[in-house]
Amino acid sequence: MVTSRWTAATARTASPRRRGAVLERAILEAALEQLSTVGWNGLTMEGVAARAQTGKAAVYRRWPSKEDLVADALKAGLPSLTEAPDFGSVREDLLELCRRVREAMFSQPGFALRSVLYECDAAQAERFHAVILGGVVEPTLHLLREVIHRGMERGEVRPDAANAYVFDAIPAMMMYRSKVCASEWSDGDLEEMIDQLMVPLLRREAV
Can you list the alpha helix ranges (DSSP code H) found in the chain?
Answer: 2-13, 20-42, 45-51, 56-62, 66-77, 90-105, 108-119, 122-127, 129-132, 138-153, 164-179, 187-193, 199-202
The residue type found at 195 is D
CATH number for domain 90-202, candidates 1.10.3470, 3.30.390, 1.10.287, 1.10.357: 1.10.357
Give the model confidence (pLDDT) of 6-62 as tens digits.
Answer: 333 433 344 556 678 899 999 999 999 999 889 999 999 999 999 999 999 999 999
pLDDT above 80 for 205: no
The pLDDT of residue 3 is above 70: no
d(CA 29, CA 7): 30
Calculate helix-pair angle for 138-153, 164-179, nearest 10 degrees.
Answer: 130
| d(C-alpha 108, C-alpha 35), whole Å | 9
d(CA 205, CA 207): 6
Q: Name the DSSP class of 154.
A: T
The CATH 1.10.357 domain(s) of the chain lie at 90-202
User: Contact 102/174 with Cβ under 8 angstroms?
Assistant: yes
Task: Name the average pLDDT for the chain.
Answer: 84
Angle between helices 108-119 and 66-77 (to 10 degrees): 140
97-119: per-residue pLDDT in tens?
999 988 888 888 888 888 888 88
Mean pLDDT of all residues in 82-91: 93
The fourth-level CATH superfamily of domain 14-65 is Homeodomain-like (1.10.10.60)
Stretch(es) of the chain classified as CATH 1.10.10.60: 14-65
Output the pTM of the full model: 0.76
Residues 79-91, mean pLDDT to the nearest whole number: 90
Asked if 131 contacts 139 with a C-beta cutoff of 8 angstroms, the reply is: no
